[in-house]
A and B are shown apart, each in its own frame.
Chain A
């Protein structure tokens, strides 16, 4: 059995036919992790024993006729999602020994469906970063070329799926952190509509932007994962009450009757010619499948990064105030006053990027600056939302690059935070507006690095994303192409 290209839907069918057991499948995946992990470094914590125990339970569940499509499927989980009894670090030294006493809602859901967790995946500290270079436990490598970043912040989530270390994974996306690494690693990634998936048990970065979503080997798997994750949760007061659908239903070949919008601002200066070439080819594929193509405009796109780098740090500075050295693991035991305890514990526990964003956020919210920064950014956010409302009167789905360039070399941008921030210009607007976005593999750069196409749709229209994604995947015929890891 080759687990490196195995999809959830293929594994599910093989399990149902009795061609393999979940224990066998899980063991294969664990062996694969042993083989490639020294090169890829996608995991912070491995849970091999627990995985085999869960796989045995899944086999028992299946033999009773219980368990859904995810029953017995080995998955990886971004280390920002609470897993009861399993260390959850958020990539930070400050949570190095944190063992959550409860499961996130998404973990409850996966466990009840019999899914298997093979480990906790690497990420930028508190999900702040675009290259997974801000992790206290090392940087993962892009399976397509180990000298390159795998993207971030859900870098381990993308690298592990691309490298065959799990069949699918969970990531989180605050400004592109699922879609960007998915694009750089050649896998499918969905950031669902804000509120579609419960955030209960997701360590908060920027609460009005954060959303959990799946990274998978193909579009059908993304639909299956979304089925297993979504739905209203009374434990998350911002979770949406919109009806949860079966995302696999009605996924069909053909784009007849759908209009795809090509936003001019996403193809502006700074877009690398090789990325543009790949995306234009993808657009032609969707057109061949019957889609109508229309040039559209979202005029405030260029202000997205500026608004985001006020709103996200402001929310982060508030959310991260809870790491005070009192309740969660790391404390400076030499501090002799409470204020020193806070200061020393936080300064020792947080990395540079997290400190930078806490400072930016505190500055933007501080007395005298609030109106100029936070209020202004929140007003621009409204204008960005209006752009989307207007554009979706003209088209059903927006098609664009995910990132302006392919992945960069590890270390290349580490001294220049602003250039890293600007690399998220095409993914940030979806978070500000709460609309769903998806990255689907679309081609490769001249040097063989994956390039993804971004699809965006109105609130709760994930089905349109999936349908466009499926048509792209089928039309391109590149699905199943694997990185040449030994």
Chain B
């Protein structure tokens, strides 16, 4: 059993707007082990991105957080921002954002931006020649064609897939322990998607990084992740080893999610969208967040919030009536 390098315990994040409160994360608990790829799946507004942004304290100032995020024995939520900036960002955790077309500064060349990232690495390289070699090596590893040409190019001259590879390369050269990939394939073509995911899985193998892979694509995650976390309405509803969660989902939400992926072949009768709308993050809830849309709902579900209970090795369910 490898050790935990990141622990999120009962995280709550509220955005304090002038006239209302947005409950972005209502109760999230999960952990990341060394050298594993963990997938967080959920619809928009489920709280998956905000939970991960909290580990880097990259959220706006007008928020209220509760709970703990523990790395290396420190609770990130209690530390000063300058401490987080010096010790966590880029050092322990680095992040790949969703849209590669805007994740790179348009006015600087690729090489310039990668060199800049090197400045924030744990161990500096120092020598300018060695830096260039290092950068070209990494681009090579990520199968970027003609890296010597690419480093002189500007972001708008490259394709989406290429840009995403460069963004990942930047995260790579920081050599942080953890990489958070926030929907890295969502804005790319399907054919490029798998290439990018292959690149990310190599990070685990060759660079011993642990990865948190956020997506709304269950099938994609099921192919590559060791463990999965399913979130809805700001709460973790189910989590566990991927094959268990994917092949034997116990939360009605996970089951419903699996059913609403349109099948390309085979039994089309199994395709069923989830009725209703996504839970409004401004709404205060008394019971399970999925209750209004759940086929199996009973009276208790709307009155009491179910707790996340352990049902097996690494397996947790939040439901009064799991399958």
Q: Do A and B come from one complex?
A: no
